């Protein structure tokens, strides 16, 4: 216990003294008005009179300044002003206060960014004569992760739609990837992309690398459209992770990989606050030929690995062998000596030997380059993640393969996903099976509908509902659950789910009923957010359940999803 207290005290001291880790920290500028967060973290002193710099944060891309801690790109004046002194350290390659705490302490500091600012940035991109849009969609949260107005903004631009986080979806049938792709295509067309210049729809995982090489190949095929490439989409869809993956691939000029900082990645929504970019490598004849040979060899290797993983999956019943993984590599790794000098490597005056990250934009080679941009996320009104604390967010957002859990519900019963969502079966010809897809950390509860409100109030903030969590002060700010939508579902077959009920970031539920049976349901979410009815994404997952638990409405997990010691 003493060791735990000692470690905690050391962590608090490190958080409080975080500014000492900056080379251009000037402690003579500290004064009594220094701001403190939770009694431990020192915000430093803002200076509203100082102008915002033109230097972007190396983590989020926002211009660095010391005006206000709530504005993106903030650095305390004790750090920022040192760069204004003669001979002082410059701001290049520094990260703002918010990115620092995300990177080193997994703490998200509040930043006031209005939802209206995001469409303005997208309109700026749309106004460019030439541009290729890579629209990212979170496969664990669509259509909630598709911003409704985005098709109207980019209706004249060539678009590649990318469904990210496919590695988190369990395999329910041999052709499940094609089925997921078809449903994604139907949804994006319903949002207005059917009349746009839709180039392709791809499934990827920016985390494991699956599908990234196919995306790069498609982007090279789209070279004829001219213009820069922009990664766009709602918050938390994985744009920064994809940006980092592309930065280490053939798509980025090899000299830039180690000289441009990685985008700050975190599951906290909205971490990318400006436009980060890297120079795109032109797909010349020689490079393309080398790339084709590498990809042919990679395809052969992946077929062999896939067969081995399938064999191990059947042998061990271990779900880890079913996770989709891909390789990202460079076809040409040797630096081009003719362009190597185009990168600035001037050391900072106060930090001998430090490399100044970035590209020398005055060089004619880069003045004519095309660029890949990581844009800010669009805050979607359907999302509930903005209501959660960082601890609650870690529990809510799935990070590994989702295990489908199936329950039996009779008319007059309700199912809870933690304290985040509720689904009632109001009327039905028979019982139904509900297959829940959500983070493994979220508990599932079933009770009588007439007792549901009492159950919720009694166990909110406890381990039975888990999220939200915290004391009375935290729970007093929680909006609770509101009746969001009532709808009817017609059953197809006992072994084939009819439709999904998407419950914003809490997850989704596949509804399975007998042929020609009709069911009336009601969905509840915080502030009526993000309830959608869609065609089933994984309709055969209902068959991936273990034996039914006696006297309970619950099935055991399928043997594939049992945790192995």
- Per-residue pLDDT at 114: 62
Q: How large is the average pLDDT for residues 61-65? A: 83
Co-location of 98 and 199 in the same domain:
no
- The domain total for the chain is 3
Co-location of 17 and 37 in the same domain:
yes
CATH of residue 197: 3.40.50.300
Give domain status of residue 339, yes or no.
no
* Vertex 283: Cα angle to 282 and 286 (nearest 5): 120
Residue 71 pLDDT > 80: no
Band (152; pLDDT cuts 50, 70, 90):
confident
Query: Considering only CA atoms, which of 128, 366, 149, 333 is closest in space to residue 229?
Result: 128
Give domain status of residue 166, yes or no.
yes
Distance CA 527, CA 387 (A): 10
Percent of the chain with pLDDT over 70: 79
Co-location of 398 and 542 in the same domain:
yes
Query: Considering only CA atoms, which of 364, 374, 158, 138 is closest in space to residue 252?
Result: 374
Give domain status of residue 292, yes or no.
no
**Among 25-34, 230-239, 366-375, 481-490, which stretch is predicted with the lowest mean pLDDT?**
25-34
Give domain status of residue 31, yes or no.
yes
Asked if residues 546 and 404 have their Cβ atoms less than 8 Å apart, the reply is no
Higher pLDDT, 418 or 187: 418
Per DSSP, 84 falls in state: G
Q: How large is the average pLDDT for residues 277-288? A: 85
Co-location of 95 and 200 in the same domain:
no
**Cα separation values, 84 from 40, 61, 261, Å:** 28, 20, 23
Co-location of 432 and 532 in the same domain:
yes
Distance CA 57, CA 274 (A): 9
Give SS3 for 332. coil
Distance CA 198, CA 101 (A): 39
Helix (H), strand (E) at residue 487: strand 482-490
Co-location of 151 and 94 in the same domain:
no
Distance CA 167, CA 325 (A): 7
Of 59, 79, 105, which residue is a domain's last? 105
- Per-residue pLDDT at 360: 59
Co-location of 274 and 162 in the same domain:
yes
Write the pLDDT tens digit of every residue in 490-500.
Answer: 999 989 999 99
Give domain status of residue 307, yes or no.
no
Give domain status of residue 39, yes or no.
yes
Percent of the chain with pLDDT over 90: 37
Higher pLDDT, 366 or 48: 48
Which segments within 45-120 are labelled E, that is strand?
none
Co-location of 144 and 100 in the same domain:
no
- Per-residue pLDDT at 359: 57
Co-location of 178 and 52 in the same domain:
no
Of 78, 105, 132, which residue is a domain's last? 105
Residue 471 pLDDT > 80: yes
Distance CA 316, CA 515 (A): 35
Co-location of 121 and 97 in the same domain:
no
Distance CA 65, CA 228 (A): 28
Q: How large is the average pLDDT for residues 267-295? A: 80
- Per-residue pLDDT at 112: 54
Give domain status of residue 353, yes or no.
no
Helix (H), strand (E) at residue 121: helix 117-126
Helix (H), strand (E) at residue 41: strand 41-44
Distance CA 528, CA 506 (A): 13
CB atoms within 10 A of CB 87: 7
Of 70, 105, 140, which residue is a domain's last? 105
Q: Which domain holds residue 72?
A: 2-105
- Per-residue pLDDT at 421: 96
Give domain status of residue 505, yes or no.
yes
Co-location of 194 and 80 in the same domain:
no
pLDDT, mean over the chain? 81
Kindly report the pTM of this predicted structure: 0.83
Query: Considering only CA atoms, which of 422, 429, 425, 421 is closest in space to residue 408?
Result: 425
Co-location of 89 and 125 in the same domain:
no
- Per-residue pLDDT at 14: 52
- Per-residue pLDDT at 69: 76
Distance CA 406, CA 434 (A): 5
């Amino acid at each position: 216990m003493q060791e735990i207290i000692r470690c905690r005290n050391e962590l608090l001291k490190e958080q409080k003294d975080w500014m000492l880790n900056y080379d251009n920290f000037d402690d003579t500028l500290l004064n009594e008005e220094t701001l403190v967060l939770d009694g431990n973290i020192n915000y430093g002193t803002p200076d509203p009179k100082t102008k915002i710099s033109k230097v972007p944060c190396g983590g989020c891309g926002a211009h660095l300044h010391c005006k206000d801690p709530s504005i993106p790109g903030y650095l305390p004046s004790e750090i920022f002003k040192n760069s204004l002194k003669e001979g002082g350290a410059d701001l290049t390659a520094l990260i703002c206060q918010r990115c620092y705490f995300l990177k080193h302490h997994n703490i998200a500091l509040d930043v006031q960014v209005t939802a209206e600012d995001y469409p303005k940035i997208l309109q700026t991109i749309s106004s460019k004569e030439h541009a290729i849009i890579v629209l990212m969609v979170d496969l664990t949260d669509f259509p909630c992760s598709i911003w409704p107005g985005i098709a109207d903004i980019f209706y004249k631009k060539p678009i590649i739609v990318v469904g990210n986080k496919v590695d988190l979806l369990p395999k329910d049938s041999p052709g499940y990837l094609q089925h997921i792709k078809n449903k994604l295509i139907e949804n994006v067309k319903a949002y207005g992309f059917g009349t746009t210049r839709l180039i392709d729809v791809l499934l990827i995982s920016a985390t494991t690398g699956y599908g990234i090489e196919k995306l790069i190949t498609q982007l090279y095929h789209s070279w004829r459209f001219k213009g820069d490439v922009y990664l766009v989409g709602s918050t938390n869809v994985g744009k920064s992770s994809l940006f980092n993956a592309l930065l280490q691939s053939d798509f980025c000029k090899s000299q830039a990989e180690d000289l441009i900082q990685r985008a700050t990645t975190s599951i906290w929504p909205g971490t990318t606050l400006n436009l980060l970019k890297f120079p795109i490598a032109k797909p010349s004849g020689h490079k393309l030929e080398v790339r084709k040979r590498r990809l042919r060899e990679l395809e052969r290797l992946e077929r062999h690995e896939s067969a081995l993983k399938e064999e191990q999956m059947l042998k061990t019943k271990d779900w880890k062998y079913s996770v989709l993984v891909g390789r990202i590599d460079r076809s040409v790794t040797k630096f081009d000596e003719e362009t190597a000098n185009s990168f600035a490597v001037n050391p900072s005056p106060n930090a001998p030997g430090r490399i100044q990250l970035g590209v020398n934009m005055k060089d004619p080679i880069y003045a004519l380059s095309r660029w890949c941009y990581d844009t800010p996320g669009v805050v979607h009104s359907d999302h509930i993640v903005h209501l959660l604390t960082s601890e609650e967010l870690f529990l809510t957002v799935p990070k590994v393969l989702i295990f489908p859990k199936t329950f039996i519900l009779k008319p007059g019963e309700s199912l809870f996903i933690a304290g985040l969502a509720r689904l009632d079966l109001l009327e039905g010809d028979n019982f139904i099976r509900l297959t829940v897809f959500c983070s493994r950390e979220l508990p599932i509860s079933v009770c009588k509908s007439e007792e549901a409100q009492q159950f919720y109030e009694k166990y909110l903030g406890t381990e039975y509902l888990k999220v939200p969590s915290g004391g009375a002060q935290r729970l007093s700010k929680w909006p609770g659950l509101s009746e969001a939508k009532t709808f009817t579902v017609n059953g197809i077959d006992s072994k084939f789910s009819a439709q999904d009920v998407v419950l914003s970031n809490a997850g989704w539920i596949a509804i399975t009923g007998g042929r020609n049976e009709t069911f009336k349901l009601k969905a509840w979410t915080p502030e009526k957010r993000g309830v959608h009815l869609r065609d089933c994404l994984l309709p055969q997952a209902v068959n991936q359940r273990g034996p039914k638990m006696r006297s309970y409405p619950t099935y055991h997990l399928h043997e594939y999803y049992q945790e192995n010691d």
